[in-house]
Structure 1
Amino acid sequence: MTDNLFRLEVLRALYGDCLLLHYGTQAKPKLALIDGGPRTVYDNSLRPRLEQIRDERGLDEDTPLRIDLMMLSHIDEDHVFGLLELTQELLDARNNNAPRIVEIEDLWHNTFDDIIDNDAEELTQAVTAGIGPAALNGELPDDLVADLEETDQTHDVFDTIKIVASVGQGRDLRNNADDLPIERNVETDGRLVMASSETQPFNMGGGLSLTVAGPMLADLGVLQKKHNEFLAAHPELALHIAAALAEYADNSPFNLSSIVVLATSGNKTILFTGDARGDKILEGLELVGILDKGARLHVDVLKGPHHGSSNNVSLEFFQRVTADHYVFSGNGKFGNPERATVEALTEARGEDPYEIHLTYPIDEIDSARKDDWDQHRRDELRRRQTKPKTKVRPEWSDADHSLAAFLDANPDVLERLRFVDEGVPHSIDLTTQP
């Protein structure tokens, strides 16, 4: 009979991430929650699953489920929002003397204020003053949208508003944690969770150790520099600050701040990558001594970076970090998981045994990917009218661009796919014999 527990559970999280890590022993199980997905994920996926786990453990209504560690990889809305809703529910329960669904022992969360060593309130105030408070919910005034469409900046601005909104959401999560109270970054004595050449594994109890391989101090310095440069360049906070903010989102600087963690239990390993770039993941693994320069690392599970975006991975990444199980959480919105990512993975692994775990059906993913592709093409065609050298992608072709066509042509890859079904727990069980 098995006793040691090490199991990754993947939840449907739309275009975001929401993961549960079960560890410890069967007799004394522990639980970690990694990211909470965007809006609606908490109500539709995370909360129902937490209630099921309470029932599985035989807890009564007045006994909260213990979450030993809650980790936010970074503050993008598609990772933070569910955690914000969870902590807000806990505050409401406390204020109403109602039973709590969970109790959270430890929160790993690098707030934007901590990262830039500043008060990020000035950034969100800039957006509110220039566009209005609705902008922090991703809404822009109609007249501003029309004006931005003429300058081909709409797509960039919406991406940027999403980022800026996340700054406030990350701060709200920190404030909720302070009010509950939940201790934050206990293992680092309240300082940033980050990687350095002196990094050592954290013993989390229950046989689990976590080694932080990102973010790296140098990359956090880049983020600080971008923040300061932005504020220096835009002191006037004019109405069109949204267009200027697009500069701030260049190269997705928040993704440089993703927490990257190697989780180890016995001889089993899971690599959590958040939305980090593949080259930065390799660099961080080398920095902390997990990976020798030019060498390869094999893990049992790799949580695919940035929902399978091809901008975050390469053939080299998949050649150097291999796994038995690959998890790509995404429903096709924003194009993820991308066909190019699956192609690179399959080229890197050849006939090796492995499985790919997807959180939504292929047809649903492809439908959303096509919508995203078509929107980008319209933006590019419009941009070409004023900038003739603008590169315009071809019209969507199922044969050339869909995952379904690639899988039809590669039935061996199709056989490796595993899907997260709605309402059904989906686990990758690495539990070992004692």
Structure 2
Amino acid sequence: MSVNIKVLKALYGDCIILTYGLEQDKYILIDGGIGKQCYRSLKVFIDSLKENNSNLSLLILTHIDSDHIDGILKLFSEENFDFSKINKMWFNYGDFLDKELEAIRYKEKNDILLHDETTKISWRQGTSLEKILKHAGFQYEKVVKVYDEFDIDDAHITLLSPSLEILREFNEHWMIEEERETKISTVSDYEIPIEELNNLEFHENISLANKSSLAFIFEYQQIKALFLGDASATEIEKSLSELGYSETNPLVVDICKISHHASKHNTSNSLIRMLKCKNYIISTNLTASGRPSKECLSRIICNSKEPVDFYCNYEIDFNKIFTKQESEKYGMKFITIDENGINLEDLHR
């Protein structure tokens, strides 16, 4: 069991715990999710670190949407939270971001630096978290971006998103994408046949906050996992192409966390064809906006070279989404992740 993934029940958000190492004593936390159940589980995990005298090797906040940041903000707001238990943190937000982006621009172009008079509409949760971190004197990584590579306790991480251009645009024009309702509604595409959905033209319609999301390849020993946050399919395709991957030379990964909770706007046919992957994680309950989208799942199913297994952090009746004939034809499986998580060694080929 060299790598284990736990996907906490975070409603329509993300909260993922990566455990790895020969002694299973290295931990990476990806986002903090939203909702009381997620927060309770997150607290149990953090308390277990204290009890075992362990540290969090890395905390990754992929972006500032509330369904990713809320649990971390609550955790850090606790009066006696011990920031020394976190070795590293990635958080592309705050006053420093503007300064760092300007410094990079100056280094790249050797231009005269001009003050940007653009009014920034900051999101209160991101700003609140930044204030807490400043008050605690906690230093986090400055401007984590595409193609950066990090070695984290014997694991290797390669960033696929965001680009500097996206970060600059996001820094100048803060945008928020909120979703409050969590019940399934009539906007779902569950009645449309799988082939029809796969043949629809892909339309990427996502916020700047989501475009700014961190996405990365995680490698430990022979295990590879792809975590896409809420990132843009177009940006991920560009990054993979730059790294030498293509439809004829796909990136081979043991598992992939689907972008933006299986939204139809974040997963393209061409992106799936650039991957050789049999296992995909769906991190969401059924939402008012129709996630997980059947269009997104159809693109994955129809553009994969073999039957796909979907790992879900909520028990969802996919018989109401796919017909019996579709399931028999494509052979996809839907597996509810239990409290033990997913052991990637069991999936590795």
Common fold, TM-score beyond 0.5?
yes
Shift of 1:179: 2.8
- Taking a change above 3 Å as real, the CA distance of residues 353 and 291 of structure 1, as seen in their structure-2 partners, is same
Is structure 2 residue 303 aligned with structure 1 residue 404?
Answer: no
Q: Which residue of 1 aligns with 2:179?
A: none
Between the two proteins, the alignment pairs up a number of residues equal to: 302
Is structure 2 residue 68 aligned with structure 1 residue 105?
Answer: no
Q: Which residue of 2 aligns with 1:419?
A: 336
Q: Deviations over 1:194-252 (max 9, x none)?
A: 12xxx4531112x2011111101122233345459xxxxxxxxxxxxxxxxxxxxx840
Q: For residues 108 and 353 of structure 1, what CA distance do their matches in structure 2 show?
A: 35
Q: Deviations over 1:264-286 (max 9, x none)?
A: 11121111111011111111223
Is structure 2 residue 130 aligned with structure 1 residue 182?
Answer: no
Tell me if the contact between 2:206 and 2:265 (Cα under 8 Å) persists in the aligned partners. Answer: no
Is structure 2 residue 262 aligned with structure 1 residue 308?
Answer: yes
Q: Which residue of 2 aligns with 1:204?
A: 152
5+ residue gaps, structure 1: 95-99, 125-163, 186-190, 229-249, 364-401
User: Which of 11, 15, 27 is the aligned partner of 1:14?
Assistant: 11
- The aligned runs of 1:206-355 (5 Å cut-off) are 207-224=154-171, 226=173, 251-287=206-242, 289=243, 291-292=245-246, 295-333=249-287, 334-349=289-304, 352-355=306-309
5+ residue gaps, structure 2: 100-114, 176-204
Shift of 1:70: 0.5
Q: For residues 101 and 224 of structure 1, what CA distance do their matches in structure 2 show?
A: 26
User: Aligned partner of 1:22: which letter?
Assistant: T
Q: Deviations over 1:353-375 (max 9, x none)?
A: 54211122224xxxxxxxxxxxx
SS at match of 2:85: strand
User: Aligned partner of 1:202: which letter?
Assistant: F
Tell me if the contact between 2:159 and 2:217 (Cα under 8 Å) persists in the aligned partners. Answer: yes
SS at match of 1:335: coil
Q: For residues 325 and 347 of structure 2, what CA distance do their matches in structure 1 show?
A: 37
Q: For residues 299 and 206 of structure 2, what CA distance do their matches in structure 1 show?
A: 22
Q: For residues 302 and 246 of structure 2, what CA distance do their matches in structure 1 show?
A: 23
Q: Which residue of 2 aligns with 1:129?
A: none
Q: For residues 83 and 91 of structure 2, what CA distance do their matches in structure 1 show?
A: 21
Shift of 1:169: 1.2
Q: Deviations over 1:169-210 (max 9, x none)?
A: 12222222233343301xxxxx20012xxx4531112x2011
Is structure 2 residue 108 aligned with structure 1 residue 192?
Answer: no
- Taking a change above 3 Å as real, the CA distance of residues 277 and 35 of structure 1, as seen in their structure-2 partners, is same
Q: Which residue of 1 aligns with 2:56?
A: 67
Q: For residues 253 and 43 of structure 2, what CA distance do their matches in structure 1 show?
A: 29
Q: Which residue of 1 aligns with 2:124?
A: 168
Q: For residues 219 and 84 of structure 1, what CA distance do their matches in structure 2 show?
A: 24
Q: Answer with 1 or 2: which has the greater Rg.
A: 1
SS at match of 2:277: strand
User: Aligned partner of 2:36: which letter?
Assistant: T
Q: For residues 37 and 320 of structure 2, what CA distance do their matches in structure 1 show?
A: 26
Q: Deviations over 1:31-89 (max 9, x none)?
A: 010001123254333223444x44xxxx64xx654111100000100000111111112
Q: Deviations over 1:274-323 (max 9, x none)?
A: 10111111112233x25258742121111100000011112211111232
With the length of structure 1 as denominator, give the TM-score of the two structures.
0.62
Tell me if the contact between 1:331 and 1:360 (Cα under 8 Å) persists in the aligned partners. Answer: yes
Q: For residues 345 and 226 of structure 2, what CA distance do their matches in structure 1 show?
A: 13
SS at match of 1:66: coil
- Taking a change above 3 Å as real, the CA distance of residues 297 and 202 of structure 1, as seen in their structure-2 partners, is same
Q: Which residue of 1 aligns with 2:80?
A: 93
User: Which of 26, 33, 43 is the aligned partner of 1:47?
Assistant: 43
Q: For residues 120 and 83 of structure 1, what CA distance do their matches in structure 2 show?
A: 31
- Taking a change above 3 Å as real, the CA distance of residues 358 and 12 of structure 1, as seen in their structure-2 partners, is same
SS at match of 2:77: helix
- Taking a change above 3 Å as real, the CA distance of residues 120 and 320 of structure 1, as seen in their structure-2 partners, is farther
Q: Which residue of 2 aligns with 1:146?
A: none
Q: Deviations over 1:126-145 (max 9, x none)?
A: xxxxxxxxxxxxxxxxxxxx
User: Aligned partner of 1:80: which letter?
Assistant: I
Q: For residues 40 and 74 of structure 2, what CA distance do their matches in structure 1 show?
A: 12
Q: For residues 264 and 29 of structure 2, what CA distance do their matches in structure 1 show?
A: 26
Tell me if the contact between 1:7 and 1:431 (Cα under 8 Å) persists in the aligned partners. Answer: no
- Taking a change above 3 Å as real, the CA distance of residues 87 and 344 of structure 1, as seen in their structure-2 partners, is same
Identical positions, percent? 25
User: Aligned partner of 1:86: which letter?
Assistant: L
Tell me if the contact between 2:263 and 2:291 (Cα under 8 Å) persists in the aligned partners. Answer: yes
Tell me if the contact between 2:33 and 2:71 (Cα under 8 Å) persists in the aligned partners. Answer: yes
Tell me if the contact between 1:330 and 1:337 (Cα under 8 Å) persists in the aligned partners. Answer: yes
Structure with the largest fraction of helix = 1
User: Aligned partner of 2:324: which letter?
Assistant: D
Is structure 2 residue 41 aligned with structure 1 residue 80?
Answer: no
Q: Provide the alpha-carbon RMSD of the alignment.
A: 3.1
SS at match of 2:216: strand
Q: For residues 354 and 265 of structure 1, what CA distance do their matches in structure 2 show?
A: 23
SS at match of 1:411: helix
